[in-house]
Amino acid sequence: MLAACAAGALDPEERLRRAEEIAAGSHLTRGTFETGTFRLTGFVKPGKGDVLSVYIEGDGFAWVTRHRPSRDPTPVDPVALRLAVADGGNVAYIARPCQYSRVVSPECDARYWTSERFAPAVIDALNVALNQVKLQSGANALVLVGYSGGGAVAALLAAQRSDVVHLITVAGNLDHAVWSRLHGLSPLEGSLNPPDFWPGLEGIPQTHFVGALDQTVPITVYRAYRSRFREEADIQVRIVDAADHRCCWAREWPHLLETISNRGVW
C-alpha cells in the first residue's frame, strides 16, 4: 500500500492533477505558452493590472538519484505555484520546460532539467512566455519571483528585459557554479550563470529570501552572487529563521511579501 502511494506521488498525471487543485484555490487556470522551442505550462488568473507578478517554478523532480535523472521533471510539490496562490494579487505562474507535459516531446531531453537547465534556449523560451502572459494581462511591468532554480531563471530573464520593476527569489540558486562546488557536483555545462549578467541586473531592485536551515541552497550561494555587485546596489536579503529549502515558504509568503520595502510601487 505504501509503495502504491509512493508511485502515485511520482506519477506525472497525478502531479498535474495536484497542481490544478492548488491553482483552483486562487482561480488560476491552466494554459499553454507556445514558444517555438518548448511548449510551456502556466497558470494564469483572469484580470488586468499595471503590474503582473510572474512566479517561475524550481527545477522540479529533476533527479531520481544523484546519478540518474528523472524521465519527467514535473515537480511533486510545486512550491512556486503555492507561492503564487498565497500572493493573492495580480499573478501568473510559468513552469519550466517539460514540466506538466502530458506527452514527452522531442525537445524534452533530460539535459534541459540537468546540466542545461539554464541554457540560452531555456531562457529564450521563458522570455517568449513572459511576453505572452504580459500581453494577455495588459500589464505594463513585471515582478519576477523565482523559487530555487527558478530564481536563477528569473534573474537571467530580468537581466535582459527593461520591464522588470523587482526581482524576488526564494531559496534561489543564484550562482550555480558555487552551488555545484559546495555539493561536489559536476558543473552545469551549457547553463548561463546569473552573476555573469550583473550589469543588466544592478539597476533592478532585488529581494532574496534565504532559509536559515536551507542545506540545499545555503546563504553562501547568495553571498557569492551579491559579491559581484556594488555595495550601493538595491539588493536586499531576508533570512527566514524557520525555513529550509522547501518548508514553509507558502505559509509565510503573505507576511514575507509585506517586508519588501518598495512593494507600494507595485
Task: Summarize pLDDT for 46-81 with one digit per residue, the tens.
Answer: 777 899 999 999 999 999 998 899 999 999 999 999
The reported pLDDT for the residue numbered 266 is: 66
How is the chain split into domains, by residue range? 2-265
Q: The C-alpha cell of 239 is what?
A: 533570512
User: For the residues 167-182, what does the mean pLDDT come to?
Assistant: 98
Q: The C-alpha cell of 215 is what?
A: 542545506
Helices (H), 33-111: 79-87
Would the pLDDT of 9 be above 70? no
End-to-end CA gap in the chain: 48
The reported pLDDT for the residue numbered 101 is: 81
**Residue 108: is the preceding peptide bond cis (ω within 30°)?**
no
Would the pLDDT of 104 be above 90? no
Decide: helix, strand or coil at residue 73. coil
Nearest to 60 by CA among 144, 171, 129, 147: 147
Beta-bridged to residue 170, according to DSSP, are: 147, 209
Nearest to 188 by CA among 114, 101, 84: 114
d(Cα 95, Cα 113) in Å, to the nearest integer? Answer: 12
Phi, psi of 179, rounded to the nearest 5 degrees:
-60, -45
Percent of the chain with pLDDT over 90: 84
Nearest to 5 by CA among 67, 76, 65, 74: 76
Helix 79-87 to helix 249-258 angle (10° resolution) is: 40
Return mean pLDDT, the chain: 92
pLDDT band at 45 (very low <50, low <70, confident <90, very high): confident
CATH of domain 2-265: 3.40.50.1820
pTM as predicted: 0.94
- Is the Cβ–Cβ distance between 219 and 238 less than 8 Å? no
Residue that is written with C-alpha cell 557536483 in the block: 185
Which residues are within 8 A (CB) of 43 and not within 5 positions of it... i.e. 6 or more apart?
19, 23, 28, 29, 30, 31, 81, 84, 92, 93
The two most distant CA atoms of the chain are separated, in Å, by 57
